[in-house]
Amino acid sequence: MAIDVNKVRHSAAHVMAEAVLHLYPGTQFAIGPAIEDGFYYDFLLPRAIAAEDLPGIEKEMRRIITGGHTFERKEISREEAKAIFADQPFKLELIDGLEDGTISIYTQDGFTDLCRGPHVENTREIRPDAFKLRAVAGAYWRGDEKRPMLTRIYAWAFESKAALEAHLKLLEEAEKRDNRKLGRELDLFSTHEEAGPGLIYWHPKGGRFRVALENWWRDEHYKNGYEILFTPHIGKSWLWETSGHLGFYKAGMYSPMKIDEDDYYIKPMNCPFHIMIYNTNNHSYRDLPLRWAELGTVYRYERSGTLHGLMRVRGFTQDDAHIICTPDQIEGEIAEVLRFSLFMHKTLGFKEIKAYLATKPSNPEDSVGAPEMWSTALESLRKAVDKEGLAYEIDEGGGAFYGPKIDLKVKDAIGREWQLTTIQFDFNEPERFDMTYVDADGQRKRPYMVHRALLGSIERFFGVYLEHTAGAFPVWLMPDQAAVIPVGADFVDYAKQVTAKLKSAGIRALPMLSDERMNAKIRDAQNQKIPYMLIVGQREKDESKVSVRFRDGRQENGVELGAFVSQVLDKIATKALDLH
């Protein structure tokens, strides 16, 4: 019989709460849910604890688990629940928030918790070698900064020792690939708390990657019928009032600045600016669809505690686009956007891609647009996903207030899933900005509008891709595509000649001409993930050749320089993922 790992995790959370109460009398306990890879529990402790206290809690948990205690469920009245938890204020608050009727509790080994369940039948179903307490953190009660700060203890928990060990190995690999670590080691980017957290400083090498990526992005957009726009970074409050952002998104926006007695906001989105351009002219149905794209830098407020390298930032550049079309064009446009997105992901080397189809929010007050528009839009999204043969899940109620959407998630090299593409309908802004076109019958009608980001943002995509490749990018995206290494000082001039020829052909070449030993230079180039190391000595100079050492350690000697240049240029032109 298959083990229900969520039952195991939730039951282990109860055991941890019991262990903490045993070790720290007077503790008040709050909530302890199962989460993706384990569980946590929040406590108000009589004294502060730290990571070094976790082994003691683990030991007590294992003692409880091996005792073989049954999880007993009981339904009681509100009054009985308040009596049981009379000395636990967080539980009393939870009880007050429950609907009228019976309340369920679970008891094991004399410890009782307020809980809907379900749980395993006996503590022995929690493997003592399949969980590990991992961290201590602070968490406000119910996420409210005005409420007490609690101590949150996180744990990993799995159905078996092997599953836990596999997870820990994955985490070890993820740590090696951490974008912040690789960013420092490869000199790609930095952040500076003293100058403003959540803002990315692109170093020259990171800049080369970004230019190569963005040039490709622009070329492909032009090939696919897009025009590229450039819009301001700030706009009057009227713009954001009209778009609805000040009503629906103000918490994510920064405070206004006063210019000529008017309030201006720095933009969190690009879409209102694209609409302003659309409304400068009258449009016929013959003009549509319009596909307008922008690499637009936006700024959104994120709490300082949530900021994380390239993955969660306050300033970022969206690979944004808006498609404005007639209702009868929408299905084809959605299909085309999805095809375009899959092309980009596959070119970049992502092989496993899954779609998530987000539907209308369940609360009518949380959405705009007529039901029939939602139905039409959702069906267009579904047909596009089916046409591409993509696996997908329904994200019930996950659509934004202004329309349903498709999210595409990719799996990276170590099996983690990342969201990149979003294809989002908008029934809100065309109405608010009175966008119209003249149809074939001469009547003014409302166009459909689709927001679309293929990579999500340049910063976050770079973080995902850096971790996916561990910094060993395909040659067309590498900041330095070839290192030229003379075997000694006598061959520096030839190394310079080789470097010049590579650069004139359009290959990003790095001459390594210092007095360091050749082997040290090779090691440094390999640490920098440079795809090709061209080693030149007497024989290479005499024959106008190079010896090519590949990033993976393979080597080919006596290669004609012209043949090497042609090979690399072909790899760049075809966006090849391999080096050989």
| Cα maximum dimension of the chain | 95
Check 271, 412, 424, 508 and give the catalytic one: 271
Check 28, 88, 108, 318 and give the catalytic one: 318
Q: C-alpha 92: how far from its chain's center?
A: 37
Check 300, 508, 549, 571 and give the catalytic one: 300
Rounded-to-integer distance, Cα 416 and Cα 87, Å: 43
Check 320, 407, 426, 480 and give the catalytic one: 320
- For residue 386, report the phi and psi dihedrals to the nearest 5 degrees: -65, -40
What element of type H or E holds 235? strand 234-236
Q: Judge whether 416 counts as a catalytic residue.
A: no
Asked if residues 338 and 383 have their Cβ atoms less than 8 Å apart, the reply is no
Q: Judge whether 318 counts as a catalytic residue.
A: yes
**Tokens 């029939």, residue?**
372
**Tokens 């043949």, residue?**
563
**Tokens 């009245």, residue?**
77
Distances (CA, A) of 125 to 65, 154, 160, 407, 507: 8, 20, 10, 37, 60
What element of type H or E holds 455? strand 448-457
Burial of 322 (0-12, 13-18, 19+ CB in 10 A): buried
In this structure, which amino acid lies at residue 406? I
Q: C-alpha 503: how far from its chain's center?
A: 35
Give the dihedral sign, CA 345/347/353/359: positive
Check 205, 451, 508, 549 and give the catalytic one: 451
Asked if residues 151 and 45 have their Cβ atoms less than 8 Å apart, the reply is yes
- The total number of residues shown for the chain amounts to 580
Other C-beta atoms lying within 10 Å of the C-beta of residue 47? 9
What element of type H or E holds 461? helix 458-469
Q: Judge whether 78 counts as a catalytic residue.
A: no
Q: Judge whether 271 counts as a catalytic residue.
A: yes
Q: Judge whether 451 counts as a catalytic residue.
A: yes
Check 208, 245, 322, 529 and give the catalytic one: 322
Give the dihedral sign, CA 398/399/400/401: negative
The pair of structure tokens assigned to 277 is 């351009």
Residues known to be catalytic = 271, 300, 318, 320, 322, 405, 451
